[in-house]
Amino acid sequence: MNTRDGEDEGVQFLKKAKVEDTGIESPIQGPVVDEKPLFNFIEQNHDSAVAKMWGVFLDENYMALGIEPLAFGDNAEPEKFNTAALFHYYSVFFAKRFVLMSYRYNATDDPAPTDADKKLIDTLQMQARIMNDADFSNYAIFAGNHYWSTRQQNGTACHCGSQDYMPED
């Protein structure tokens, strides 16, 4: 493309992104192979009166590459959750696996998945399959000191009476 004075502007293009070490410590240390590090993160980083959803993006060894808040308040309801944001950050972090965490604010401390949660789980499993190398590792719902996760349900969205308690340390 020519400028008005006849000089070439050059071609603009996006260079391939690369991972840089920022020196900022991840709020989740060690591999994320169960719900304990997720629960510890939520305990330290939440306002108990606001529902929230976070994406945790992992490498092939289940080490946290990044954690991003994805939805707050009413937008953290499973039927309103926008999966595009989750997959955007999945690609930004060059992740191989991801976990979706949901903190529920309710008086009953019941993390049982709703029909909307089950639909969201099915949607995420389908979208992860479409992306080929995406591994949807877990969907964990926390309410008070209780949690439910797809990891404990063998990846299914059933509520099989399994509701675990995170003991206070």
Which pLDDT score, from 0 to 100, does residue 99 have?
95
Q: What is the pLDDT of residues 86-127, one digit of tens each?
A: 999 999 999 999 999 998 876 567 788 889 999 999 999 999
Residue 21's φ and ψ, nearest 5 degrees, are: -80, 115
pLDDT in tens, 27-73: 787 888 888 888 888 878 766 778 889 999 999 999 999 899 999 88
* pTM score, whole prediction: 0.78
Q: In the prediction, which pLDDT does 121 show?
A: 92
Residue 164 dihedral angles phi and psi, to the nearest 5°: -95, 160
As assigned by CATH, the class of the 36-165 domain is alpha beta
DSSP letter string over 107-161? TT------HHHHHHHHHHHHHHHHTSS-EEEEEEEEETTEEEETTTTTT-----S
DSSP class of residue 56? E
Q: Is residue 1 predicted with pLDDT exceeding 50?
A: no
6 phi/psi in degrees, rounded to 5: 90, 0
